[in-house]
Each structure stands twice: as structure tokens, then as C-alpha cells.
Structure 1
Amino acid sequence: MEQKAEDELWQQYRKTKDIKIRDTFIRQYAPLVKYVAGKVAVGMPSNVEFDDLVGFGTFGLLDAIEKFDPEKNVKFKTYAVVRIRGAIFDELRSTDWVPRSVRQQAREVEDAISTLEGKLGRPATDQEVASEMGINEEEFQHITMKISGASIISIHEVWYSGDENDKVSIADSIESPSSLNPEVIAERDEIKRVIVEAISELPENEKKILVLYYFEDLTLKEIGLVLGVTESRVSQLHTKAIMRLRARLKNSRKGIV
């Protein structure tokens, strides 16, 4: 479908909510759901079925179609990818598919990074984090591989402005904030500023991985080829980057409240 024709359809759908138009968009963007599900499936344990991820993602596509605003300077595909990925991760979290032991280890790594970087004012090295946790660096590397092997953590799990019911995501930054009061808007803007600043201060390889994965839309395997490292190493570095961002947000949250 040509862009001009699609733009006209979006305008029409916004006015009429015509089911036939909605079904046209569903058919057109169904392959996008499989693409995003395929990216999320990388590194998932064997008990997570690809078809289930596609099913979760379809709910995200439907949500995106209902909430998309063609007046904003954002392409639907860009908006939909965020919604689809978010729906998949929301469902995975709700089914609590990550083993409790792995979740606990992830929390311990995050807490150690938060404590260290709060003191140091800079990214902590692997050796420093391992020392803070009372383990050697080899054990630390093993833990991060275990965490990354069980979960590719989405950006949706990074941008929290409090608890699970009050979070800020890329999707929130695309949507109109008109329904929020000024205090909430100001707080969310501050959290986004903290995230951008935290990303800029990440070690170079971790920063590159976030940019290539979330914004250039490369797979972990493709990123590995770009950086000259293995796919599992990319997964590990991705997890470390997310842990640093969560830890930084946790520290900064104290100053925002």
C-alpha cells in the first residue's frame, strides 16, 4: 500500500473506526508481529513458544492500531514495534516465566551496580561489581550470562517512575500526554532526561548495542558481526547495559521524588 493511500486510510479510521479498515491494517502489519516475536525469541528458554510470542504480539498490534495518531510525526511501523514488543514482555512478566532464582540474581546484580555507581559517580567495572557482590569476576560473568540467557530485557522494563503501575516507556513518549496532569508530565520528562544521560555514560560497546538493537533494529547476531563478538557476548553486554540503566534510574529516583 502506498504511503499516501495509507495516510488517508488512517484519517478515515480515526473518524469512523471502520472494522474493515482495521482488518486491512491487521493483515498488512501481521508480518511485523512475527518479526518482533522472532527478535524477542532470541535467548529465550525452550519453554517459551514462538507461536505464543506471536499471539501476545498480536494484542500489541491491535492496541497500536487503536491508539495510533496519524497527526504525530511518527510512522505507524515505528509506533507498532514498540507496542508489539511491550505487549509480549508484559505477557511474559504476567506469566512469571523467569525462574525465581534468576530473577533474584538479576536483582542482586542491579543492587550492586546501584550501590557502586552511586558512590563512584561513574560506570562500575565488572571486577568492582563482582567484588561488591562478594564473588570473583568469573562467577560474575557466569551470572550475567545466565541472566541474559533467560531474558532479553526490554526497554519497557527500564523506564520506571515508581512502581509497576507508574512506568515510563518509549511508547509513552510517542503518545500525547494530554491526559496527564502537569506534575506527572514534568516527572516523566525528568525520568526520560535521566535515561538519555545514563545511556550517554554507558561503556561504548554497551551503548552501541542499545542503539543497534532498539533504534537500528538489528538482531543480536547482526550486532555481533558489527562488533566482532559472539551473539552470546552481545546478549550479555545488553543485559549489563539494562542493569546499569535500571540502577541509575533507581539512584536518580531519590532525587526526583
Structure 2
Amino acid sequence: MLNNKLSKEELAYWGNWQKERDPQAGEYLVERYLPLVDYIVQRFMISLPKTVDKDDIRSFAYEGLLDAFDKFNMERDMKFETYASWRIKGAVIDGLRHSDWLPRSVRDKVKKIENAYAILEQQKNESVTDEEVSDYLGITKSELNKTVSEAALSTMISIDETVYDDDQQVGKYALIENEHAESPERHLTAQMIKESLSNAIGRLPEKEKLVISLCYFEELKLTEIAEVLSVSVSRVSQMHSKAILRLRAATLAIHENY
């Protein structure tokens, strides 16, 4: 049966588009869902370095929206906004990966920082300071912060890498959270990841925890979070990156064993 989450007007436009590729219907749908593109682009800009052009990100996102129009199945019980969000985010991440904006030397440094968080926080069972991480790696605090700032996008992608399931783009953890999966091991892994992330969020320094909350639960924009915390936009981006590195590190042991 047809998707009952759409209005009658939208169903008519969708019907004209999918059956005939009617230009008027296509124009209506693009205009209807462009705000979704703008919203997702703004969310991505939270973690992007200044060297990345916002217009490029919007172009990737727009391509994802067009791809969603072509592949959306009205027979499925799913809102188009949900499906399009997967496609748009995936298109942006793929575009950024193909542009290869981050030098390998920085990627290697990020991996070392991530491993340091994993080792130190497992040992202490609590959040570690920048000084402790810097001392462990044999670098200065300023070098640590510089690398974290440069690799903001890398930390974002690592926690929500895109994969495909039944022609749908989803976060890599979404697949293993399926409680109806045939493999008991997958369900156990999913539960362990949830518990690990929950504990890791609880251990975050207060400001980093607040940034995560405002960003992903309150869905505030980067500039709005900066106003709430009375800090610069770049500082918010840095705190977000450190928090994601800590959360990513919390799942390393689980993935190494499965």
C-alpha cells in the first residue's frame, strides 16, 4: 500500500514524479525538501575545519537529496525525511572522503590520540585530562589541541561511518542494534556498545558532555552552543572532537574482540 505518512498533495506529486518523472512534480519536491539539505549541512559544519567550503558540502548534500528522490520506495512504511537524511549524510561523507582533505600524517596522529584515550581511560575508569594524554604521547598540550582541531571531520566520520543495508544508508552501529538479528553475538555486541557509550558519556568532562547534549539532543547550531558556553565557535568544535574521540575509544575494545 502507499506510504500513509505523506499528505494527499504530496502523494500526488510523488506519483507524478515516480511514474512519469514530471518536471513540475520534481520541482515541487526539491523545493519541499531543500530545508532538510540546509539543516544537515549546518549539522555537518559543526565538525568541519574552516578549510572546507560550505558550498561544496551543500553540493554533496543536494546530490544526496536527488539520489533519494530516485530511490525512495513509497510502498515502504518510512517517512521520506528519514530515508533522505541517510542518503544526504552518506553523500556528504562520501564526497569528503573522495576529496581526501586530511593528510595521512594527521590521520596517524588522530589514531594515536584515540588509542591514548582508550588505554588511559580504561586504566583509570574515568575521563583523562589533556595533560595526561599529552604526557602519554610525549607531545605538548598545544600540539594535541592542534591535531584535534585539524581532524574534526575525521572524528565525526569515525563514530558514524556510513554502511548499506537493503539499499538503505545507515550508521554503522544501527545495523548491529537490530534486536531481531539472527546472530545472538550481534545482539550482545550491540548491548555492550550501548553500555560502553553510556558509561563513556557519563565520564565525559562536564563541558564536553554539555556540547554533546546540546549538539545531538537539543540540536543547537554551532554558533548557538558557543553562545551558551560563552566560548568561541572553534572552541566548541574542538570540545566536540575530543568528546567524539573519547566515545570512539570506548568502543575499540569491543570491536577488537568481535
TM-score bracket for the superposition, by shorter chain length:
0.7 to 0.9
Match of residue 34, structure 1, among 35, 38, 58? 38
Q: Which residue of 2 aligns with 1:114?
A: 118
Identity value in percent: 32
Residues 196 and 147 of structure 1: CA distance in aligned 2, closer, same or farther (over 3 Å)? same
Question: What is the TM-score with the length of structure 1 in the denominator?
Answer: 0.74
Q: Which runs of 5+ in 2 are unaligned?
A: none
Q: Which residue of 2 aligns with 1:235?
A: 237
Residues 115 and 153 of structure 1: CA distance in aligned 2, closer, same or farther (over 3 Å)? closer
Deviation, structure 1 residue 243: 0.6
Deviation, structure 1 residue 85: 2.8
Correspondence list, 1:26-65, <5 A? 26-41=30-45, 43-46=48-51, 48-65=52-69
Deviations 1:96-127 (A, max 9, x none): 21122221221121111111112222221111
Deviation, structure 1 residue 78: 5.5
Q: Distance in 2 between matches of 1:122 and 1:5?
A: 45
Deviation, structure 1 residue 89: 1.7
**RMSD of aligned residue pairs (Cα, Å):** 3.9
Residues 147 and 173 of structure 1: CA distance in aligned 2, closer, same or farther (over 3 Å)? closer
Residues 253 and 64 of structure 1: CA distance in aligned 2, closer, same or farther (over 3 Å)? same
| 1:213 maps onto 2:215 in alignment | yes
Number of equivalent positions: 243
State the AA in 1 paired with 2:255.
Answer: R
Q: Distance in 1 between matches of 2:248 and 2:128?
A: 14
Deviation, structure 1 residue 39: 4.2
Residues 49 and 131 of structure 1: CA distance in aligned 2, closer, same or farther (over 3 Å)? same
Question: What is the TM-score with the length of structure 2 in the denominator?
Answer: 0.74
Match of residue 224, structure 2, among 207, 222, 225? 222
Residues 153 and 22 of structure 1: CA distance in aligned 2, closer, same or farther (over 3 Å)? farther
Residues 172 and 106 of structure 1: CA distance in aligned 2, closer, same or farther (over 3 Å)? closer
Which SS does the other structure have where 1:217 is aligned? coil
Q: Which residue of 1 aligns with 2:148?
A: 144
Preserved contact between residue 160 and residue 173 of structure 2 (Cα < 8 Å): no
Q: Which runs of 5+ in 1 are unaligned?
A: none
Q: Which residue of 2 aligns with 1:6?
A: 6
Deviation, structure 1 residue 250: 0.5
Q: Distance in 2 between matches of 1:170 and 1:216?
A: 20
Q: Which residue of 2 aligns with 1:86?
A: 90
| 1:202 maps onto 2:208 in alignment | no
Deviations 1:114-172 (A, max 9, x none): 11112222221111111110123343233323333xx3743x52157xxx869995587
Deviation, structure 1 residue 210: 1.8
Which SS does the other structure have where 1:97 is aligned? coil
Match of residue 71, structure 1, among 77, 81, 100? 77
Preserved contact between residue 44 and residue 152 of structure 1 (Cα < 8 Å): no
Q: Distance in 2 between matches of 1:210 and 1:63?
A: 30
Residues 50 and 141 of structure 1: CA distance in aligned 2, closer, same or farther (over 3 Å)? closer
Q: Distance in 2 between matches of 1:145 and 1:217?
A: 21
Which SS does the other structure have where 1:6 is aligned? coil
Residues 233 and 45 of structure 1: CA distance in aligned 2, closer, same or farther (over 3 Å)? closer
Deviation, structure 1 residue 76: 4.5
